[in-house]
A and B are shown apart, each in its own frame.
Chain A
Amino acid sequence: MIILDATNKSLEVLLGGAITTNQLIWTASYVDVSQSTFAASAASEADGVTNNTTAVTMVAAPAASVSRQIKFLSVHNADTVAATVTIRINNGGTFRTVWKATLQTLETLQFVA
């Protein structure tokens, strides 16, 4: 499980280089849980595409006193060439790589909590 537990923590995706034809497609599903009552307050999905070497926020930072539990992630390489994918946590401007590897054309990365 990946948890974002502060308002300055988010999850990002970026590529090792510019794509050739198509940006990579990503999705994310997550649940917000109160840090005091531990009650789930929302279940959400986000999706989008990468932006070459510029980081894209997959899962935004939670509200105060909320932990955002990431349940599922996927990144699909829809480009015509291999792509090096980095998924990282942005902790107030400090970056922590969570996963980095090469996805060949039409390969898919999935994270399941």
Chain B
Amino acid sequence: MPAGFTAFDVNGDIKTSAVVNLSTGVTGVLPIANGGTNASAPGSAQANINSQISITTTGNIDDLDFGNASLIRMNNSGLSTIRGLLAGTNGQRVTIISVGGGQVDLAHENTGSLASNRLHNFATSANTSLAAGCGVATYQYDGTALQARWKLIEHFQGDFIDVAYSAGNFTAGGSMTWTVDAGDQITYAYYLSGRILTVVTYLDTTSIGGTPALQLFIAIPVGFTASRKFQNVSTLFDNGVFALAYVRVSVSGTTIEIGRGDTTNLTASTNNTYIRVLIAFSVN
């Protein structure tokens, strides 16, 4: 055993040996980690406890008991949605990293978990995601009375996440119809950074019918809503003819609007309308 002070948990495992905040001189109350060992954190009252736990559960996970580990390895094969972690001590941190083949979603203020166990994310209108095998997020516990939560302090989605095909994600204005077949959806993906959502779509050989009108609509992925009006310039092939296009979101909107740059009606086509979208905008 190294010389100095060492605290042991109930199992006899090393708990911590860092005790003093070197910058303030204030001694700290240290969190526990079962089986953990201290890596010390000069200048901080918080011990950086090296311990980890692996989770393979898929589906919704409420009030996850992670043993106060500092690292949660999500080794899920399918989608896992974490909706809460057992409450920590003030200032306690935990990092969640995706190492499996399944996406990990982190639900904001989900009522499936006890209030003091809930996650509080940057973006509030939909889940914050970790791309399978590469996303990572860190939460820090804020034990303030009546609003105790795990607060998201860092998040890297890791990669664009593809949106599963659904015909309902593609609609049109007025009496116009827009048919996007599964094979037409070459790319439809999103990346969340803070409260900035980047959406990219690459749609080929789609069809326009009914009464031609001004706009097509693509659903903003996974239920996010826009918090500001944003517009960007893009391109489309309107019944095979190149044209500039605008792409736009509106406050509280749930769709990305696409129209010709010259604000004329789109043209009816059969498998001959091609849409390209790249837009980043703020979300709630």
Interface residue ranges, A against B (CB under 8 Å): 1, 84, 86, 97, 99-113
Q: A1-B3, A112-B1, A112-B3 are in contact. Are A102 and B30 (CB under 8 A)?
A: yes
Name the residue of chain A whose CB is nearest to the CB of B29: A102
> Do A109 and B3 have beta carbons less than 8 Å apart?
no
Contacts of A100 in B (CB 8 A): 19-20, 27
**CB of B145 within 8 Å of the partner chain:** no
> Chain B 26-42, CB within 8 Å of chain A: the 1/0 string?
01111010000000000
What are 19 sample pairs from A and B whose C-beta atoms fall under 8 A apart? Answer: A84-B29, A99-B19, A99-B27, A100-B20, A101-B7, A101-B19, A101-B28, A104-B32, A107-B8, A107-B10, A107-B15, A110-B5, A110-B6, A110-B7, A110-B8, A111-B5, A111-B6, A112-B4, A113-B3
- Looking across the interface, which residue of chain A has its beta carbon closest to that of B9? A107
Task: Report the minimum CB–CB distance from B64 to chain A (whole Å).
Answer: 21
CA–CA, A111 to B30, complex, Å? 17
A101 touches B16 (CB 8 A): yes
A100 to B29, CA, bound (A): 8
Whose C-beta in chain B lies nearest to the C-beta of A105?
Answer: B10
Chain B residue nearest in CB terms to A87: B5
Q: State the CA gap A106–B19 with chains docked (Å).
A: 19
Q: Nearest Cβ in chain A — how far from B97, in angstroms?
A: 27
